[in-house]
A and B are shown apart, each in its own frame.
Chain A
Amino acid sequence: MTTVETEIREGVDRETVETVQSVGERYKHGWSTDIEMEFAPKGLNPDIVRLISDKNGEPGWMTEWRLAAYERWTGMREPEWAMVNYPPVDYQEQYYYAKPKSMMERPKSLDEVDPKLLETYAKLGIPLKEQMILAGVEGAEAAPAEGRKVAVDAVFDSVSVGTTFQAELAKAGVIFCSISEAVRDHPDLVRKYLGSVVPPTDNYFATLNSAVFSDGSFVYVPPGVRCPMELSTYFRINAENTGQFERTLIIADKGSYVSYLEGCTAPQRDTHQLHAAVVELIAEEDAEIKYSTVQNWYPGDENGVGGIYNFVTKRADCRGDRSKVMWTQVETGSAVTWKYPSCILRGNESQGEFYSIAITNNWQQADTGTKMVHLGRNTRSRIVSKGISAGHAQNTYRGLVSMHPRAQGGRNYTQCDSLLIGDKCGAHTVPYIEVKNNSSRVEHEATTSKVDDDQLFYCRSRGMDEEEAVALVVNGFCKEVLQALPMEFAMEAQQLVAISLEGSVG
């Protein structure tokens, strides 16, 4: 790392730390912005699908693609195998499209963006120093915002409201825009890759998403390009009873590299809100994608009222030889999480990594894990999962490691550790391991234990209160995963770990 880069990173740290420290409340993102929304009528039918497509100004093939997905979805049943319990979701009681009214005419430049939206981002504590840029100030993009270089695409309910640093990225040849823009401006790329990793028929929630996704981010990194900055998306659900169905598509062409960060928040609501996203990653030969998530949707209150239902399909296709995908997730939010970021290791010598922290407190339920499907020769994967359960929460690791007969020389190492805080919660592990050749080595280890009394006692004897002590011990437990996060997220994630566990002891 060069000196210049170090300085930038330190600058980021300070800012992030300040942002996080300024927040004392239990759930810091629990406000909603009072701006006029334009809703499509409640419920789901082919007309709504057409309307969404129409609102996004999509070409006919895209509309057909959506309608086919909708048709398929009507014949599907919601999966029940996950260890989560929630009252049935009435899919006809949701809004599938909500758009801030000021966005009805897409702003030609960012200064047409509703100031209230910008306020929202300020409140979000997104390191949106780029607000200047978001506001569309001419020439602002050229000036690094306090040394910080993270390009941000912000998705508000259903619509992407602005992508920063686009011009600078374009210089490097990187396309970073909302998916609806991509459908209009780069139809060939979208047509080639959309649904090629997660087909519209994949599963109940992915099919629903394929029919009604309204926006999301699109990234294309051309061959040999190392994306000059971290890319970031902030998703926020704002309107009541709105489902957010974003779709992210990231393509790293031959020999390229991109690091992508994703953050999610939602206001406090008494009702459950639905979130069903699809993320597709494609890594061509020698390409590398690093995808980091800090998921902090509203988890519901101490009594389990409200919170987001988070049903997400994330999958990476390591298509090319020597390609690499790294998933890192910090899951602290949502009332119910159903999420399995996976890697299909198709290319020879491709690599998949999955680092996860899932923290559940109060009445939260998380069923999360990964799938590593080894198809190519000498493919490698590594899974490190840390689950922490407190209150009345249920936390499940569910995963698959599959070594295809052709995947000679495959290697997998899996470690999943669970920590229980209190005797009302549960920690579960459901790994599937399928080995179909003998030159592969697969190792799986799982442990479940409680917070060590001696460690707590030691911290207490040094003058920490019990909550601080638990937070410190838990951070130690998660260290391996926190280290895998980009600097920009690591500090915030550590604080999040502490905040999420508030009220779990004593």
Chain B
Amino acid sequence: MAVPATRPALPTDPLPGGAKWLRTARDAAAGRLAAMGLPQPRDEYWKFTRPDSLTQADVPAAALFDPREAPVFGEVDRIRLVFVDGVFAPDQSDDPAGENLEIARLAEIAETDIHWAAGLFGRLEADGHSPVARPLAALNTARASDGVAIRATGPVAKPVSLIYLHKSETSDAILHHLVKVEDGASLTLLENGPAAARFNKCMEVELGDGAAFNHVRAQGRDHERRAVTHAFARLGQGASYKSFTLTANGRLTRNEQVITLAGAGATAHVAGAALGDGAFHQDDTVFVHHAAPDCESRQVFKKVLRNGATGVFQGKILVDSVAQRTDGYQIAQALLLDGDSQFLVKPELEIYADDVKCSHGSTSGGVDVDARFYLMSRGIPRAEAEDLLVLSFLAEAIAEIEDATLAAEIHSRLAAWLERHRSGRR
């Protein structure tokens, strides 16, 4: 139902210029967007998250924030690509070259008539509007002027690291990334940083047969930034997609992932840990589509909330009738550290095949006082005892990160955040 917007909405017309493939994709995306309209507060799909600040023309200002800590993944040997308020910064970036690896900027290839990216740009996004429309992703395709296209043709040794810096209080960044991992190839992608006052990111990931893609991201800790991200992934036979997201603070974050298991025997694991203190609204919306037999999917999302923070999880597993012997699992849990916070969940299953094993679970509650009492009786101060319990609660999500170094890094970030936020400090 259309509700008149109280503020003027951001522009939705497609960006002009570019090679024919890009123009075609942008025009088509703008057409899709016009047909579905921008998200409205009354939309069922936006039941738990208000879309207004993501769709209004003027960007809500976000004060710059200096975390005064070592940057995330600083110790990891990686290829760094830096974006400042959504604009690529070549002088701060590494040389984007490596064995089995091709990296190009979207802004560079925009005028190139023949490029592998032409076959991927906007395609998975266009397929990703079922069962619900995702207008902000279509908006991204129509209006993104920058981003990277990454292609792995074999095993890539160093992770590719996208770093998003936030320097302007009213920046509005739109980035569109393309990732193609060819048959048998593998790639690790790291992302971190707040990016902008308002950030709309879309990533299309195509995995060939037997390809492996690992994705670990730490969304920046700026308190006031707003972000909507989409990842559209399509997995070939036996391919593996593993994704972990850490969200610590941020006024509003909506992370959507749309994963299609198109080849038999593919595996998709998506996990997330969210920490919110105060004005924090974080939303994980995940759609896993089993379109081939013998696939496995896991969704593990954990949220720790306090001082009026809100955590949202909307997860859906769709199993087609051909997708026999599917193994689907989904868990969404929240730990509410005080009486003001909220956890809003909608875990869905839609199953059309009979030989399947699908389950989902969701729990919500406070810290287990008996466990805390036990730890205190062993001489551990109350605050530390609580942190320990929170970390053990988050452990199942962190365990989804395969690389031990990255897992340890995320773990230490979580522990540091908890310590900082112990007595209301930020």
Which of A's residues lie within 8 Å of B, judged by CB?
81, 83, 403, 405, 408, 418, 420-450
A59 to chain B, nearest CB (A): 38
Query: Across the interface, which residues of B come within 8 angstroms of A427, CB to CB?
Result: 349, 351
Which DSSP category, helix, strand, loop or mixed, fits chain A's interface?
A: strand
Which of A403, A447, A448 neighbours the largest number of chain B CB atoms within 10 Å of its CB?
Answer: A448
Pick the contact of A431: B340, B347, B353, B364 (CB < 8 A): B347
Question: In the complex the two chains form, what is the Cα distance from A438 to B363 in whole Å?
Answer: 12
The list of the 7 closest CB pairs from A to B, nearest first, reads: A438-B336, A420-B354, A433-B345, A441-B365, A438-B366, A429-B349, A435-B364
B150, chain A: closest CB distance, angstroms = 36
- Contact indicator per residue, chain B 80-107, by CB within 8 Å of chain A (1) or not (0): 0000000000000000000000000000
Q: Is B229 an interface residue (CB 8 A)?
A: no
Give the complex CA separation of A408 and B339 in angstroms.
9
A283 and B361 alpha carbons, distance in the complex (Å)? 31
Q: Is the interface of B mostly helix, strand, loop or mixed?
A: strand
**A426 close to B351 (CB less than 8 A):** yes
What is the CA–CA distance of A443 and B338 in the complex, to the nearest angstrom?
Answer: 18
Q: In the complex the two chains form, what is the Cα distance from A431 to B351 in whole Å?
A: 15
**List of A residues within 8 angstroms of B339 by Cβ:** 405, 408, 437-439
Q: How far is the CB of A482 from chain B (nearest CB, A)?
A: 23
- How does the 8 Å CB contact mask read for B215-245 relative to A, with 1 for contact and 0 for none? 0000000000000000000000000000000
Do A432 and B346 have beta carbons less than 8 Å apart?
yes
Give the complex CA separation of A442 and B321 in angstroms: 32
> What's the nearest-Cβ distance from chain B to residue A374, in Å?
12
Is residue B421 within 8 Å, beta carbon to beta carbon, of the partner chain? no
Q: A435-B344, A438-B336, A443-B363 are in contact. Are A448 and B358 (CB under 8 A)?
A: yes
Is A435 a contact of B343 with CB atoms below 8 Å? Answer: yes
A141 to B343, CA, bound (A): 55
Q: Which residue of B lies closest to A413 (CB)?
A: B363
14 A-B pairs with CB atoms under 8 Å apart are A83-B350, A420-B356, A422-B354, A423-B354, A423-B355, A425-B352, A425-B354, A428-B351, A431-B347, A439-B366, A444-B345, A445-B359, A446-B361, A449-B356
Taking a contact as CB atoms under 8 Å apart, the answer to whether A426 and B364 are in contact is no
Query: Which chain B positions have C-beta within 8 A of A423?
Result: 321, 324, 352-355
How many A-B residue pairs lie within 8 Å, measured between CB atoms?
A: 116
Known: A424-B321, A450-B356. A430 touches B364 (CB 8 A): no
B47 to chain A, nearest CB (A): 8
Any chain A CB within 8 A of the CB of B357? yes
Q: What separation, in Å, do the CA atoms of A245 and B376 have in the docked complex?
A: 61
Q: How large is the interface on B (under 10, 10 to 19, 20 to 34, 35 or more residues)?
A: 35 or more
Q: Is the CB of B365 within 8 A of A440?
A: yes
How many angstroms from the CA of A429 to the CA of B348 in the assembled complex? 5
* Interface pair B357/A449, CB less than 8 Å apart: yes
| Residue B44 lies at the interface, judged by CB distance under 8 Å to chain A | yes
Of chain A, the residue at the smallest CB distance from B366 is A438
- Asked if B24 is at the interface of the complex by the 8 Å CB criterion, the answer is no
**Interface status of B334 (Cβ within 8 A of chain A):** yes
- Bound form: Cα–Cα A438–B342 in Å: 8
Residues of A within 8 A of B362 (CB): 431, 433, 442-444
* Interchain nearest-CB distance for B63 vs A (Å): 28
Interchain CB contact (< 8 A) of B342 among A420, A429, A432, A434: A434
Q: A433-B364, A443-B362 are in contact. List 6 more A-B contacts (CB 8 A).
A: A423-B324, A426-B352, A431-B345, A445-B360, A448-B349, A448-B351
| Cβ–Cβ < 8 Å partners of B359 in chain A | 445-448
A423→B44 CA distance, assembly (Å):
30
Establish whether residues A435 and B351, one from each chain, have CB atoms under 8 Å apart when the complex forms: no
Measured between beta carbons, the chain B residues less than 8 angstroms from A424 are: 321
* B336/A437 in contact, CB under 8 A: yes
Nearest chain A CB to B348's CB is how many angstroms away? 5
Quick one: given A438-B365, A448-B349, are A429 and B354 in contact (CB under 8 Å)?
Answer: no
Cβ-defined partner of B341 (8 Å) among A430, A434, A438, A442: A438
Let me know if B337 is at the binding interface, CB within 8 A: yes
The reply to whether A441 and B350 contact each other, CB–CB distance below 8 Å, is no
Bound-state CA distance A81–B364 (Å) is: 27
B363 in contact with A442 (CB, 8 Å) = yes
Contacts of A445 in B (CB 8 A): 359-361
Given A433-B344, A438-B338, do A448 and B356 touch, yes or no (CB 8 Å)? yes
Of chain B, the residue at the smallest CB distance from A77 is: B1
